[in-house]
Amino acid sequence: MRILFNIERLINPSQEEKAALERIVKTRMLKKNEHFLNEGDLCETIAFIEKGSVRYYYQLEDRQVCKDFLLENGLVCSFGSLFSQEPSTIYIQALEDTELAEINYEDIQQLCESYPIWNKLARIIIQEQVIRAEKREGAFLKDLPETRFQSLIAEHPTIFKRVPLQYIASYLGMTRETLSRYRNKLNK
């Protein structure tokens, strides 16, 4: 499991601690365009992307707005819904056939109570999510669209092979035409 490899890079769980995690992880397959979560649903699980990709989006009256997309190793969850135990305000949808390592939130809580090392991992994950959200918000408020485009390419060089253009344009806050101009400029 990719999830264990990545966890071992952050913390050093014992064999017993790893076995406890493995007992609660379930594999879940999403077909392309299948939803992990719909607006109005309660998020009750966290999942790591073993293979594939997802997008987070809001449905407005006249269009969808892409909030984020995640590839392998990404953590899939509506944290707002999970922590508040209120209905989600966001959709999470597979962009391609996607394999997830999924864990029920109640199982995570019990795991953290039984094994303090998993509390450490939970803190690391929450910190990373907060930092990621703050960077995204700052980029949207301070950076020019072209700068956001260049940052995306630097972070995800293969993004255009895996994510449809309309979702990337929405994520960057620009039209498809503007995104195409930036891509053409980059390719020259």
Rounded to an integer, what distance in angstroms lies between the CA atom of residue 38 and that of residue 35? 7
Q: In order of start, what are the domains of the chain with their CATH numbers?
A: 2-114 (2.60.120.10)
- pLDDT at residue number 87: 97
**Residue 86 clears pLDDT 80, i.e. is over it:** yes
What digits encode the pLDDT tens for the residues 161-178?
A: 899 999 999 999 999 899
- pLDDT at residue number 9: 80
> Residue 151 CB: number of other CB atoms within 10 A?
14
pLDDT band for position 183 (cuts 50, 70, 90): confident
What digits encode the pLDDT tens for the residues 19-52?
A: 999 999 999 999 999 999 999 999 999 999 999 9
**CA distances to 71, 98, 102, 132, 180 from 74, in Å:** 6, 12, 12, 12, 26
